[in-house]
């Protein structure tokens, strides 16, 4: 096996439930240390794909591989290499945080000192140390999410599959989650994380797949998807005086749209990259405009998402 194989790979994955094509010809891969966003509206097929990766369901056709091992041929090896965090917290028993994690550590065959070390590592990473002796029923949503993540990583797998981990979290818990995911990726874990809310993922993912009605609509780095969708960049600038002359000046350059003037501030869209913006700024100054502020941003992933998906649910 080649060392550089992707840690997660879907190969023409299909999963039908009767006539519902929950997953239809989905292929993508996640490299080591990558955070990959799986984005789509409810019912798009995210959970179904993730369950198959986690060996909790079987594909109708196609395959899913974890660290090079097929869920069809080597489910045991897949399970050992992967931690799955489902989109619900599934426990009836009201046991203590430490007992809960201890149970899962034992289920993964961790014994003695190895288990103690795993528990310490996970509780410290998820900041659950102080809650070790608390019953899990009394935990907040954010704490339960951390416990779920702790459970998914108790056997220190190289791959983590997180299904809608940010759902229902308050902003603070969401920031903590984002930090934890960033840290896991920096430690070399490969992470597949799903959401139906784009903004939750945009900042933490290097690559994304957009899925709708079981089909992939776009795959690539956030930048690639933005570029492929003819994304425009938005520039806003402020001058000390003479803003009223700017629409004409900008129009003469071409490839600039939607110029809006408000007082001495001007906003517009353009088709170029940041080099074009640097040129515009230089030319503005050379033309005698006294520029005091100049900023730009790429069209957000949210804009792209709205453009790509039609918001259909089957
Ligand atoms: N066990 C099942 N039986 C029948 N249909 C299912 C089953 N699981 C999922 N589906 C259907 O498959 C589609 C994809 O569901 P799911 O993977 O849960 O989407 P997502 O996680 O993106 O919201 C939906 O139309 C859903 O109703
Ligand atoms: Mg789901």
Ligand sitting nearest the alpha carbon of 44 = 1
Q: What is the CATH number of the domain that holds 65?
A: 3.40.50.300
Q: State whether 173 and 280 are in the same domain.
A: no
Q: Is residue 308 part of a domain?
A: no
- When pLDDT is averaged across residues 149-160 and rounded to a whole number, the result is 96
Q: What percent of the chain has pLDDT over 90?
A: 70
User: Domain containing 280 — which CATH number?
Assistant: 3.30.70.2470
**What pLDDT is stored for residue 230 in this prediction?**
58
SS3 194: strand
Å from CA of 193 to ligand 2 middle: 11
Strands of 61-66's sheet in order across: 20-30, 8-17, 61-66, 69-70
Closest CA to 218 of 293, 295, 301, 274: 301
Q: Reply yes or no on whether the pLDDT at 94 is more than 90.
A: no
Give the residue from 32, 48, 145, 162 showing the smallest Cα distance to 90. 145
Residue 311 lies in a domain: no
Q: In this structure, are residues 49 and 38 in contact, taking their beta carbons and an 8 Å threshold?
A: yes
Q: Are residues 150 and 239 in the same domain?
A: no
| Last residue in a domain, options 173, 196, 228 | 228
Query: What average pLDDT does the structure give for the chain?
Result: 90
Q: Does the Cβ of 43 fall within 6 Å of ligand 1?
A: yes
Give the count of domains, the chain.
2
Q: Is 20 in the pocket of ligand 1 (CB under 6 A)?
A: yes
Look at residue 198 and tell me whether its pLDDT is greater than 90.
no
Say whether both 114 and 65 belong to one domain.
yes
Instruction: Indicate whether residue 314 lines ligand 1 (CB < 6 A).
Output: yes
pLDDT digits (tens, 9 = 90+) for 124-135: 999 999 999 999
> Is 43 exposed, middle or buried, given 0-12, 13-18 or 19+ CB atoms closer than 10 A?
middle
- The range of the structural domain enclosing residue 286 comes to 233-298
Lowest mean pLDDT, pick from 1-10, 233-242, 245-254, 284-293: 1-10
Put residue 187 in one of left, alpha, beta given phi > 0 → left and psi -120 to 50 → alpha: alpha
* pLDDT per position as a tens digit, 209-264: 999 999 998 898 877 876 666 567 889 999 999 999 999 999 998 888 889 999 99
Is there a domain that residue 309 lies in? no
User: Does residue 114 lie in a domain region?
Assistant: yes
Is there a single domain that holds both residue 214 and residue 256?
A: no
């Amino acid at each position: 096996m080649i060392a550089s194989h992707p840690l997660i790979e879907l190969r023409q994955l299909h999963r039908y439930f009767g006539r519902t094509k929950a997953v239809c010809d989905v292929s993508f891969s996640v490299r080591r240390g990558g955070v990959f966003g799986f984005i789509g509206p409810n019912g798009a097929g995210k959970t179904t794909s993730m369950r198959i990766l986690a060996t909790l369901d079987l594909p109708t056709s196609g395959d899913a591989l974890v660290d090079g091992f097929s869920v069809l041929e080597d489910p045991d090896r897949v399970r050992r290499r992967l931690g799955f965090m489902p989109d619900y917290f599934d426990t009836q028993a009201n046991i203590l945080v430490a007992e809960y994690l201890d149970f899962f550590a034992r289920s993964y065959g961790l014994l003695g000192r190895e288990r103690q070390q795993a528990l310490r590592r996970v509780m410290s990473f998820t900041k659950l140390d102080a809650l070790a002796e608390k019953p899990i029923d009394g935990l907040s949503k954010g704490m339960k999410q951390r416990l779920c993540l702790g459970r998914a990583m108790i056997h220190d797998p190289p791959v983590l599959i997180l299904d809608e981990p940010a759902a229902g979290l308050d902003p603070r818990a969401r920031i903590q989650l984002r930090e934890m995911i960033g840290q896991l990726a920096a430690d070399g874990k490969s992470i597949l994380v799903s959401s139906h809310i784009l903004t939750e993922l945009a900042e933490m993912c290097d690559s994304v797949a957009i899925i709708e009605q079981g089909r992939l609509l776009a795959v690539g780095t956030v930048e690639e998807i933005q570029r492929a969708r003819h994304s425009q960049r938005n520039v806003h600038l402020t001058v000390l005086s003479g803003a009223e002359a700017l629409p004409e000046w900008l129009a003469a350059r071409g490839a600039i749209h939607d110029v809006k003037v408000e007082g001495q501030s001007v906003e517009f869209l353009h088709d170029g990259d940041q080099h074009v913006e640097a040129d515009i700024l230089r030319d503005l100054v050379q033309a005698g405009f006294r520029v005091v502020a100049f900023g730009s941003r790429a069209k957000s992933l949210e804009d792209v998402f709205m453009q790509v998906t039609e918001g259909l649910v089957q």
